[in-house]
Amino acid sequence: MNPSRDDPALPRSPCISVCVIDPPTGLCAGCFRTLEEIAAWINLGVDERKSVLAALPQRRAHYGAAIAARMAHAER
């Protein structure tokens, strides 16, 4: 399936242009998607995108502080 990018029902990408994969979790430090989800995003339909988006708040709550700490440590 290759959904139309112009479809207003199609959820937009959660990307915030902080594209760094956290090795321990495999999640992007910016949007909390996996590499597989990021790569597939362009081809996902409405329901599939909504499913990915629904998982992000829990990932952020569970892994966000640890990922942020690792990112801060790496910047030193």
Residue 73, in any domain of the structure: yes
pLDDT tens digits for range 14-46: 999 999 999 999 999 999 999 999 999 999 999
> Please, are residues 21 and 29 in contact by the beta-carbon 8 Å criterion?
yes
Distance CA 76, CA 68 (A): 13
Closest CA to 53 of 36, 32, 27: 32
Residue range of the domain that includes 55: 42-76
Residue 71, in any domain of the structure: yes
pTM assigned to the model: 0.87
Residue 18, in any domain of the structure: no
Distance CA 13, CA 49 (A): 8
**Domain count of the chain?**
1
* CB atoms near residue 15 (< 10 Å): 13
Residue 21, in any domain of the structure: no
Residue 15, in any domain of the structure: no
CA 23 to chain centroid? 14
Kindly state the average pLDDT of the residues 36-65: 97
